[in-house]
Amino acid sequence: MDGIPGVIQTIPLNYYIFFSTALFVIGIVGVMVRRNALIIFMSVELMLNAVNLLLTAFSAYRSDPAGQVFVFFIMAVAAAEVSVGLAIIVMIYRNNRSVDVGILNRLKW
């Protein structure tokens, strides 16, 4: 029982799966039911992190560092994505004086 993989392995793998699934579903539901663009954005981040958690857990159980390396990449890309996404939301706010996605229904036939 040494090192971080050892610590992670003190909890059974199934728990990680249940927890990640719960986080992911919360994210989905958040995206689907909320209308505030910021909250939707946070829910997307929640989904991303659910996946990250699962990747780390599998990586530790399989003693394969590739999963954790992958997580770093996801985090870096997510950070970039956040900056773009937030900029978009700022622009939406400037144009509409609101971040309610219900107003944004102009992208249609």
List residues near other proteins by CB under 8 A: 28, 31-32, 35, 101-102, 104-109
Q: How far is CA 94 from CA 80, 83, 90, 97, 99, in A?
A: 22, 17, 6, 6, 9
Is 8 or 31 the residue whose CB approaches other proteins more closely?
A: 31
Is 23 or 60 the residue whose CB approaches other proteins more closely?
A: 23
Q: How far is CA 73 from the centre of its chain?
A: 13
DSSP one-letter string for 21-47: HHHHHHHHHHHHH--BHHHHHHHHHHH
Is 46 or 104 the residue whose CB approaches other proteins more closely?
A: 104
Side-chain half-sphere of 31: how many Cα atoms within 13 Å?
A: 12
Nearest-approach distance from CB 41 to other proteins, in angstroms: 12
Nearest-approach distance from CB 104 to other proteins, in angstroms: 6
Nearest-approach distance from CB 81 to other proteins, in angstroms: 17
